[in-house]
Structure 1
Amino acid sequence: MGLFKKNPFGHILFLKKWLIRIMGAISHRRFRGFNELQIEGSDVLRNLPDTNVLFISNHQTYFADVVAMFHVFNASLSNRDDNIKNIGYLWNPKLNIYYIAAKETMRAGLLPKILAYAGAIPIERTWRSAGKQVNRQVKMSDITNIKRALDDGWVITFPQGTTTPFKPIRKGTAHIIKQYKPVVVPIVIDGFRRSFDKKGLRVKKKNILQTMEIKAPLSIDYDNETNEQIVEKIEYAIEQHPSFLKVIPQEVLEEQEKLNKKREW
């Protein structure tokens, strides 16, 4: 790799590699030390193509979710089965992993700007800005950047666009799936909300069991399925469909959430 070789977004790959190595080393104990990340299905990752893969996941913190995925993805590609023991896998990380994030979030401070260099695709949210509800058109440059990232590698997205559970799936994700026909891989995470603060930068509680389940790619008829059908398929895949709430009464869920704050792995 040339010293100044760049990716399609103009990021120098040599710098990105060292950034992932350093930030990975700093963050490793958050998932294997202070807390324990239990992984399931990482073998799925080794059977994926190198480009045009879209990961869809529920969302619990701004940054810890993505950082954990960087660890798991690279560990799996280094032939680790469902574990991130020691950090040797960070020496040659996969450099074409990207994640979709709100532009205002990635500009809020020095650390988010550094993390953005590791692979963020900043987009302007069409429904919320500076804590207020808005209604604005999708920027075509944002869609173009997502396509550029898919053409170059793997893209992580959180289709609810919020860390609040059981919020509706944004139809823009279905539009991207129909238009660009990526391999769509669902991921379900848990425990991050209890482990970290909302930003995912500060450890809030130790000895919490964190989980990450990587599921088999979705079967999607890109030409014939509607956006609504794809949205519903996503809701079930990442376990955010309203029916998951109906299984357990809301008051029981709230009581369980209180217990989860005390639960240790």
Structure 2
Amino acid sequence: MGLFKRNPFGHILFIKKWVIRIIGSLSHRRFRGFNELQIEGSEIIKSLPDKNVLFISNHQTYFADVVAMFHVFNASLSNREDNIKNIGYLWNPKLNIYYVAAKETMKSGLLPKILAYAGSISIERTWRSKGEDVNRQVKMSDISNIKKALDDGWVITFPQGTTTPFKPIRKGTAHIIKHYKPVVVPIVIDGFRRSFDKKGLRVKKKNILQTFEIKEPLEIDYENESIAEIVEKIEYAIEQHPSFLKVIPREEIEAQEELNKLRKWRLEDDY
């Protein structure tokens, strides 16, 4: 690899490699130390093609979710079986992993800007901006950037577009799946909301069970399935379909949302 070789977004791969190494080293104890991340399905990662793979997941914090995925993916590719022991897997990380994130989030400070270099595809949210509801058109450049990333490697996306549980799936993810026909791999995470603050930067509580389940790729009829059918398939795959509320009491979900609001206000006061 040439010292100044770049990816399709202009990032120098040598620098990106060191960003991943440093962030991974600093964050490792958050998933294996303060807390213990229980992983299931790492063998699926090793069987995936090198390009045109879309990971879909529920979302619990801004950054910890993605950082955990970088750990799990690279550990799995280095023959770790459902664990992230021995961070030697960070020495030669997979460099064509990208993740979809809100542009305003990735520009909110120095650390987010550094994290963005690890592989952010920053997009403008069409439904919310600066804490207020908006309604604007999807930017075609955002869609083309996701396509560019899929052509180069793997893309992580959180189709609800929010860390609040059981919110509707954004149809944009289904459109991307239908038009670009990626291999779609669902991931279900839990425990991150209890372990970290909303941003996923501060350890809020230790000794929390964190789980990370990688599921088999979805079977999708790209030509014949409708957007609505793909959306429903995503909801079930990442366990965010309304039917799951029958298992989790609504009162518990509402109480968690109120706690998240309080944490947000406290964070704003801290800054």
Identify the TM-score tier after normalising by the shorter chain: over 0.9
Question: 1:100 matched to which residue of 2?
Answer: 100
Question: 2:44 matched to which residue of 1?
Answer: 44
SS of the equivalent of 2:37 reads: strand
Separation in 2, partners of 1:233, 1:227: 10
Q: Report matched runs for 1:105-184 at 5 Å.
A: 105-184=105-184
SS of the equivalent of 1:101 reads: strand
Residue type of the alignment partner of 1:51? K
Separation in 1, partners of 2:73, 2:252: 34
Identity of aligned residues (%): 86
SS of the equivalent of 1:228 reads: helix
Separation in 2, partners of 1:25, 1:251: 38
Q: Report matched runs for 1:211-222 at 5 Å.
A: 211-222=211-222
Separation in 1, partners of 2:95, 2:30: 22
Q: Unaligned regions of 5+ residues in structure 2, if any?
A: 258-271
TM-score, normalised on structure 2? 0.93
Deviation string 1:39-91 (CA, Å, 9 cap, x unpaired) is 00010000000000000000000000000000000000000000000100000
| CA drift at 1:249 | 3.4
SS of the equivalent of 2:122 reads: strand
Separation in 2, partners of 1:151, 1:256: 38
Residue type of the alignment partner of 1:245? L
Aligned residue pair count: 258
Separation in 1, partners of 2:163, 2:255: 20
Separation in 2, partners of 1:34, 1:139: 40
Separation in 1, partners of 2:66, 2:90: 15
Separation in 2, partners of 1:249, 1:131: 27
Separation in 1, partners of 2:16, 2:248: 44
- 1:256 to 1:138, Cα distance in 2 relative to 1, 3 A: closer
Separation in 2, partners of 1:184, 1:19: 27
Separation in 1, partners of 2:153, 2:248: 39
Residue type of the alignment partner of 2:99? Y
TM-score, normalised on structure 1? 0.95
Question: 1:27 matched to which residue of 2?
Answer: 27
Question: 2:204 matched to which residue of 1?
Answer: 204
User: Do the aligned residues in 1 keep the contact of 2:165 with 2:253 (CA within 8 Å)?
Assistant: no
Q: Report matched runs for 1:44-83 at 5 Å.
A: 44-83=44-83
Separation in 2, partners of 1:193, 1:250: 17
Separation in 2, partners of 1:137, 1:150: 22
Deviation string 1:139-184 (CA, Å, 9 cap, x unpaired) is 0000000000000000000000000000000000000000000000
SS of the equivalent of 1:4 reads: coil
> Could you say what the CA RMSD is over the residues aligned between the two structures, in angstroms?
1.5
| CA drift at 1:246 | 1.8
Residue type of the alignment partner of 2:21? R
Q: Unaligned regions of 5+ residues in structure 1, if any?
A: 258-265
SS of the equivalent of 2:22 reads: helix
Deviation string 1:77-134 (CA, Å, 9 cap, x unpaired) is 0000000001000000000000000000000000000000000000000000000000
- 1:88 to 1:133, Cα distance in 2 relative to 1, 3 A: same
